[in-house]
Amino acid sequence: MSRDAGLRAELELCERFQIPHSQLLGGDGRWSDLDRAKALAWAEWQRAVCPECRTRLEEWDRERGGDPHAYVTDTLRCPGCELIEQERDHVPQDRSGYGVKIQLLPREQYEPHP
């Protein structure tokens, strides 16, 4: 799994669409023993991924085939996230702001609340 980015991408799609890998590859949609093994391996892979940075500890650990310099940081400013953060500044910090969710909508779909 670690060495096959293509397989990981395919299994991510399979998970999203809840289909066996063989169906993604053109099969009839029945779950084979190999499909189940791949799904279980994918689930195990996902459990080892950090929810924050999306890396795995083994990627950093030389003793497990990793490299302590496997990744570099890069800065990206997302205009959508910036807009959400700006709007969050207007949400009250007291109880009246509890449960307030901020979402981005395409301008042409936006309809102001009455």
Q: What angle (nearest 5°) sits at the alpha carbon of residue 16, between those of residues 76 and 47?
A: 75
pLDDT digits (tens, 9 = 90+) for 23-67: 999 999 999 999 999 999 999 999 999 999 999 999 999 999 999
Does the pLDDT at position 68 exceed 90? yes
- 113, pLDDT greater than 90: no
pLDDT tops 80 at residue 114: no
> Which pLDDT band, with edges at 50, 70 and 90, does 9 fall under?
very high
| The predicted structure's pLDDT at residue 112 | 81
What would the two tokens of residue 96 be?
């009246």
CB atoms within 10 A of CB 35: 20
| Tens of pLDDT, residues 70-87 | 999 999 999 999 999 999
By CB neighbour count within 10 A (0-12 exposed, 13-18 middle, 19+ buried), where does 64 fall? exposed
